[in-house]
A = this chain, B = another copy of it.
Amino acid sequence: MEFSSKLLERAVNEMSQLPGIGKRTALRLVLHLLRQPKEQTTALAEALQTMRLDVKFCKSCHNISDVELCEICSNPNRNAEVICVVEDIRDVMAIENTSSFKGVYHVLGGKISPMDGIGPHDLNIETLVNKVKQGTTKELIFALSSTMEGDTTNFYIYKQIQDYDVVTSTIARGISVGDELEYADEITLGRSIVNRVPFEASLKS
């Protein structure tokens, strides 16, 4: 792609560094900005930069936060003895939307994935293990995605804390509510049969 302006070319190149945005899409977005008032571009550039430079991570759960201790960790109505272990902040937002969880979170920041060069020390695992060692934690809920990397991460954490007095669980895998059995994949259906729950329990939830 040949550009008639170096400034335009640089903006398009930087924009196309973002995941899922190619050169053509980047050009479309940049030309859109050119048609809008200058203030919009200034606001976008400033919002991105202050976000990147000033954003803080909660010192307890590593969730994104504007203060040292995030709203969830500092809320006295949340049960700090139950910790839900998640991969990133989007999972926290998804679980918070369900209003089904009254404990606190621990954001790992990823999954152990040797293929991508991500080892245990690149993740917030040590602080989680320290929390368990302090003895105030009663239950860890592993809510990582059900992939090879997710299972590896679960197992790595489990190995480090198995000698301590803490209950571990993983979120239930099974058929989605409202889904037809015949279209479910075999592994999910198989797991949901093995991990069946008493009918009385299912009535309550």
Contacts and interface: CB of A to CB of B under 8 A. Distances in A.
A143 interface: no
A8 B89 CA distance: 11
Contact of A14 (B43, B55, B56): B43
Contacts of A72: 4
A8 B48 contact: no
Please tell me how many copies of the chain the complex holds: 2
Contacts of A46: 45
B66 A5 contact: yes
A88 B31 contact: yes
Q: Which of A7, A21, A40, A90 has the most CB of B within 10 A?
A: A7
Nearest to A15: B44
Nearest to A96: B2
Nearest to A44: B14
Contact of A7 (B5, B20, B55): B55
A138 to B, nearest CB: 24
B29 A63 contact: no
Nearest to A55: B7
B55 A38 contact: no
B18 A32 contact: yes
Interface in A26-44: 27-34, 38, 40-44
B11 A47 contact: yes
A196 interface: no
A51 interface: yes
Interface in A47-72: 47-56, 63-66, 70-72
Given A18-B32, A28-B19, A52-B41, A5 B64 contact: yes
Interface in A86-110: 88-90, 92-93, 96-97
Contacts of A63: 4
Contact of A51 (B10, B21, B43, B96): B10
Interface of A: 1-8, 10-11, 13-15, 17-21, 25, 27-34, 38, 40-56, 63-66, 70-72, 88-90, 92-93, 96-97
